[in-house]
Amino acid sequence: MKKICMYLGYATIALGSIGSFIIAKNLGVSLTEGRYSVSYARNWPMTFGYFIGCLFVTAIFSAVLLGISKILESLEIIGDTLEETAEEPEESEEEPLIDGWKCPSCGNNNPYYTGTCSCGQPKP
């Protein structure tokens, strides 16, 4: 899906630029009527306005498509990272309690206020 959005974004830039020329050329003409004829005259401010307007719409639409493509790429990277983390759990040694002590004979973690481990070993 991200590749489709990316290709559509680039195609929008290309086709929108070409379309801007065509629209500005065809719609940037004013009609003047004479008594017996109709003549066409290029209205340059209107031609320029159509051209800039079409380019602006093209830029916004292509930016949206390319932005969606980048968001999908980031989501894919995040998903891959989460899958890797879920598949490989970290093997860590059991850490002693912060406010306790570890029994030297059985390795049990005991709270600081106990004087004897459950195995019978006194607190060192």
**To which H or E segment does residue 81 belong?**
helix 44-87
**To which H or E segment does residue 75 belong?**
helix 44-87
- Does the pLDDT of residue 88 top 70, yes or no? no
Q: Where are the domains of the chain?
A: 2-87, 96-124
Rounded to the nearest 10 degrees, the angle between the axes of helix 44-87 and helix 2-27 is 180
pLDDT the model gives residue 34: 76
Considering Cα of 96, then 97, then 103, then 104, what sign does the dihedral take? positive
- Does the pLDDT of residue 18 top 90, yes or no? yes
Q: Do residues 81 and 63 lie in contact, with contact meaning Cβ atoms separated by under 8 Å?
A: no
- Give mean pLDDT, residues 108-124: 87
pLDDT the model gives residue 56: 96
Q: Do residues 46 and 24 lie in contact, with contact meaning Cβ atoms separated by under 8 Å?
A: no
- The pLDDT tens digits for 46-59 are 999 999 999 999 99
Query: What are residue 40's DSSP bridge partners?
Result: 31
DSSP 82-102: HHHHHHS----PPPPPTTEEE
Q: What percent of the chain has pLDDT over 70?
A: 90
- Lowest mean pLDDT: which of 15-29, 65-79, 80-94, 106-120? 80-94
pTM of the model: 0.58
